[in-house]
Amino acid sequence: MKLAKRLCVLSAAAVMSLSVCTPVFAEDAAAAKIQVNGKISEIEAAITDDKAYVTAEEAAEIFGGEYADEAVAVRDAAEALGYMIGWDDDEKTVIIIDIDSMAAERGATFEIFKKYAEYSASLGDTIKSTGSFSGGIDITDEGETLSVPFSGTVESVSGNEGETASVNLVIDLSQYIAEMGAEEMDETEQYFFNEIMAAITSSDSKVIYDAENSVIYMNSTLFTIFGSDENTWIEMDMSDLTEGLDMDSIMNIAESGDIDAILLETLKAMPVDSVDSYDNMVEAYDIYASMLGDDSFTLEDGQYKSSFAMNDDGTELTYVMTFGTDGDAVNSCTITMKIADDTATMDMSVASDKDMNTEMSFSMSLADMIKVYFEMKSEAAATDEAVDLSLPDDAYVISIDSTMGALFGTADEEIEAAVEIEIEDLAE
């Protein structure tokens, strides 16, 4: 399994459906194997009309418990017990996974991490943060490097219901503008170029995250580049990006700081479509346990430290987490991570002190052609300020899908015509 597949446990994946009940079996019904937590059961299911069936007695043996002599829907029973169910068509195998049983067998505990979550929650239900950042992008081509530095500020208010944030971004495009200035442009092209550069050089953006409905709304002065009104808000349904994840359950669990439950909800998003699915979940769970589990930490000089390393087909990952303590409280956290292969490297570090003041640094290099670097500092404190998730009365809301369609569906001629009209208006 590639490193990306191992670590991207949060990626959205649909669990393949399997309708299973107890009919009168046809004499010519084909047989299907049943795999329970990675092991093939002695019981086989009958396949008829592209569905798999078992008797009530067999269902009772698979799941444990008493079932009526009449029909038992195995899918209903499995889901009522919190099991995952799927189908491997190549192997003609029904796959049943009891994720809670798997976790219990692995035996990992997460009390140290849970203490930090509890400490963070104790600082207040609503947190206000202010910060500043700086960084840049360097693009090297044929020995020449184009540098694009940027900087900005961010303010946010976050709570259980969601988060609001305002971001000011300043990008230094002077080198790029100077190089483009040597290019010949007609009046329309020059006007359009100047308008885009002005919008990109300094922009203000607002973000609203509605946690209950799993929706993000974004408004930015950058949208004017594409002719959008200043009151335009783009709506992004996060459930489309987190398909398979029960975000409402995860958010409710997060409030309690129960990292064990969050981990299991995350694993439930993995696909159950192969006889290897159970082994993949075990491997993913063990990776999490190796990074966050109690057994991964050592206590020295009042600090818990966990180190994790992996090499997969030449891709190396190192991950170090350090928790600071004050008596029994776990009250600060530092994370460093590095990923490297023959063509790319990425380094990241995040450190939060006992007051949730945070420093972050990030750098990435791609084939010695593109370098990205970023640093941020922020201060945080509990606040009585409410998280205002309401949109302005004059907000014009459009979905991200319709926005992308409009952008890529607009003809160049229409853009040029609009620009020419604006130039004429200015001339008057």
Q: Is the pLDDT of residue 119 over 60?
A: yes
**How far apart, in Å, are the Cα atoms of 235 and each of 30, 99, 392, 402?**
48, 34, 14, 10
Hey, is 66 helix, strand or coil?
coil
* pLDDT classification of 418: cutoffs 50, 70, 90: very low
Q: Is the pLDDT of residue 39 over 50?
A: yes
Q: What is the pLDDT of residues 160-213, one digit of tens each?
A: 889 999 999 999 999 988 887 767 788 888 888 888 888 899 999 999 999 888
Hey, is 148 helix, strand or coil?
strand
Q: What's the rounded Cα separation, in Å, for the pair 297 and 113?
A: 10
Q: What's the rounded Cα separation, in Å, for the pair 50 and 18?
A: 10
Look at residue 19 in the predicted model and tell me its pLDDT.
Answer: 30
| Averaged pLDDT of the chain | 81
* pLDDT classification of 10: cutoffs 50, 70, 90: very low
The strand pairing partners of 239, in sequence order, are: none
Q: What's the rounded Cα separation, in Å, for the pair 361 and 351?
A: 9
Tokens for 64? 């444990």
What secondary structure does DSSP assign to 224-253, as a single string? Answer: GGGT--TTEEEEEEHHHHSTT--HHHHHHH
Q: Label residue 328 exposed, middle or buried (CB < 10 Å: 0-12, 13-18, 19+).
A: exposed
Please state which of the ranges 165-179, 255-269, 347-361 shows the lowest mean pLDDT.
Answer: 255-269
* pLDDT classification of 27: cutoffs 50, 70, 90: very low
| CA–centroid distance for 335 within its chain | 18
Q: Are 219 and 232 in contact (CB under 8 A)?
A: yes
What secondary structure does DSSP assign to 400-420, as a single string? Answer: HHHHHHHHHHS-HHHHHHHHH
Q: Label residue 300 exposed, middle or buried (CB < 10 Å: 0-12, 13-18, 19+).
A: exposed
Q: Please give the residue that has the higher pLDDT: either 40 or 249.
A: 40
Tokens for 74? 């195995």
Residue at 259: amino acid letter: I
Specify the residue for token string 């079996």: 25
Tokens for 373? 């670097």
